[in-house]
A and B are shown apart, each in its own frame.
Chain A
Amino acid sequence: MTTQQIDLSEWTFWLPIAFTIFGIGLFILSRFWTRAWFATFTLTIAGVTALTVASPFVGWWLPAQGSSFSGEVDNLFLLIMFLTGLFFLLTEGLILFVLWNHAPKPGTAPLPIHGDHRLELIWTVVPGILLALIAVIQMPTWARMKGQGNESWLSARYESGGDKADLLLTVQGRQWEWRVRYRDPSAPPLARPLEWATHPEASDLHAVNEVHAYPGAKVRLLLRTQDVIHSFFVPELRLKQDMLPGRTVPTWFIPTVPAGTSNETRWEIACAELCGGNHYRMRGHLVIHPDKASFETWYSTAAREQSRRSRPPETGPLARKTN
């Protein structure tokens, strides 16, 4: 029995109970006080607002920014947060105001109003403009993230043409590990990198569950899967891309780390598409070396190690389910 391990004194346990009692209390209050329902709604709305506002200060927020476009994505997120937050406060505020007033002044009755064209026009046009703004403002970022923007080192249509990437690697998902294959960075660039994804070369470096890169490297990822759909997700990179059986899905990133980082940065790779029972165990690491030189040292060591073993590793550290 492991129930003893549960800490009943933790806030996570007593707070919901307190909220339940609080709710029942509000119900009892509502028998005597007409504004008890106003209080219920107000406290709930205030609670979720407070949680949102407080979260960043207790570490419940976006992961660190780790790629060339993560800042852009975050700014977009914050912009939408700001706009939707305004609407949230406005509309919820109006509801709360109505609940506070809950009845017309004594001696008056509700007005039989069926509509107001001017008002309706305003609340159609204003959100319309804001939504259009949101729609337009995100398009360049999306195009860039999907390799269709002005990243000159990526070909406009990624199915053809040569890439001038610093690192070209295939990540092949399978139940339940990431199999990584690097193209020798010193080898000449490929005219059709997508073909390399399905045609390994002898000089390729194989690894399992670890992707290595260095800050500023233009990393070209070719995603494949052997069995079911997986999704390559590194929260810090703001990168998530499904792997489709039978297809090579290209994506890219340029890792960034805070200036002056002298150690390896390790971020976790997670699978973001249900891929069977051990979906949650499909954990890998993205290792960002402090600079190009240390990456190259790692690469040559690993390559030497591999040629000594003369065979790519067959299975990763994760235990495989046996049928």
Chain B
Amino acid sequence: MTLEHPPGTPRPVRLDAGRFALWVFLATEVMFFTALIASYLVLRAGAVARDGMPWPRAQEVHVDPLIGLINTFVLIASSGCAMVACKLLASGSSRGATTAVGLSFVLGCVFLGVKGYEYRSKYNHGLLPGQIGELHPSGTQARARYDQAAGQVFLDTVKARLEPEIRPLMKPSTNSKVASESQPSLIPDLDPAHALCLELLKELDQRKLGPGAIAEKVYAIQAANEADRSHSHIHLPAVAPHGNLWASCYFLITGCHALHLIIGLVFLLGILMNGLLGRLNSASLPYLSNVSLYWHFVDLVWLVVFPLIYLV
């Protein structure tokens, strides 16, 4: 503070108030992410322990650890640039600092862009909370309830996905709406995936199987697809054990992290603008180093989130 202390009365704390407050703020942020991650671990452990179904594997939920790893390095590099910017500004090079901040900003945007790409692929695969097919072990109460009610939405999705692709392959006798000229009796070179889907659509039409059983079939088809990547891909709705909980946690944690990232980017952009306008000087150093400290924190959070979401 600006109060003058008489000689002999040492100032209580060496950190300046802004830096101190930032540390306090980061402590609250640590609590925030601790609560998030702890909830994730509790939910995940609880789900796996409850019915013995494993947590979704990365490929089941279209998570690519390689993309995540690249993103991790992008963020570390961004964080490094922020650090370099501080060093450069401290040594008096405001142009260098501006470049470093710009680089840091761009890398942050790259991270966000990749994140957006990942979200898009989740969206395309229908990996959204509440819409994923659940694999409850048969005989459980959860399965019964899923079959009775909660899974009906999933059934409709399966049907909607299969209709345009598979319905035309059916015999005209089973579906009179489709023009008969496009209907060979049964395509001899129908690949196994399409054959399975055809089977599935028939079962759906007969309405004998509940959502739980259909989800199991879809899951099996996808597993077969995965094993044999040679044949054409059919867009089936996503099915994964604990899929909805997985999606809930995935979007919550990465979303909260992305939000923090965006806030950091706004601050970086402000500094970048100042730099481009030539207003970056040694007086801006405390501000830059505070923003950079926050940026390191966002990076650090990702270093915890990445292995938990992508690898474990």
A touches B (Cβ under 8 A): yes
Chain A interface (Cβ < 8 Å from any Cβ of B): 198-199, 246
Main secondary structure of the interface of A (DSSP, over half): loop
The answer, yes or no, to whether B182 is at the interface (CB within 8 Å) is no
State in angstroms the CA–CA spacing of A246 and B245 once bound together. 14
Q: Which residues of A contact B230 (CB under 8 A)?
A: none
How distant is B138 from chain A, measured CB to nearest CB, in Å? Answer: 12
Which candidate, B109-117, B139-147, B292-300, is the interface stretch facing chain A? B139-147
Contact with A along B100-144 (1 / 0, CB 8 A): 000000000000000000000000000000000000000111100
A198 surroundings in chain B (CB, below 8 A): 140-141
The 5 residue pairs across chains A and B that have the minimum distance between CB atoms: A198-B141, A198-B140, A246-B142, A199-B139, A246-B141
A199–B139 alpha-carbon span in the complex (Å): 8
Number of interchain pairs (Cβ within 8 Å): 5
- Residues of B in contact (CB 8 Å), total 4
Chain B positions within 8 Å of A246 at CB level: 141-142
The chain A residue sitting closest to B141, CB to CB, is A198
Residues of A within 8 A of B140 (CB): 198
- Residues of B near A199 (CB, < 8 A) are 139
Q: Which chain A residue has the least Cβ–Cβ distance from B143?
A: A198
Provide 5 A-B residue pairs closer than 8 Å at the C-beta atoms, listed in order of the A residue: A198-B140, A198-B141, A199-B139, A246-B141, A246-B142
Inter-chain CA distance A262–B142, complex, in Å, is: 44
Q: What A residues does B141 contact at CB under 8 A?
A: 198, 246
Q: How far is the CA of A3 from the CA of B305 in the complex (A)?
A: 63
Complex: chain B residue closest to A224, CB-CB: B141
B244 to chain A, nearest CB (A): 14
A199 to B137, CA, bound (A): 14
**Min CB distance, A31 to chain B, in Å?**
47
Q: Which residue of B lies closest to A197 (CB)?
A: B141
Q: How far is the CA of A199 from the CA of B144 in the complex (A)?
A: 11
Instruction: Compute how far the CA of A60 lies from the CA of B139 in the bound complex, rounded to whole angstroms.
Output: 49
Bound Cα distance A246, B139 (Å): 14
Which residue of the partner chain A has the closest CB to B144? A198
User: In the bound complex, what is the Cα–Cα distance between A264 and B140 (angstroms)?
Assistant: 38
Whole-angstrom CA separation of A198 from B145 in the bound complex: 11
> What is the bound-complex CA distance between A246 and B142, given in angstroms?
7
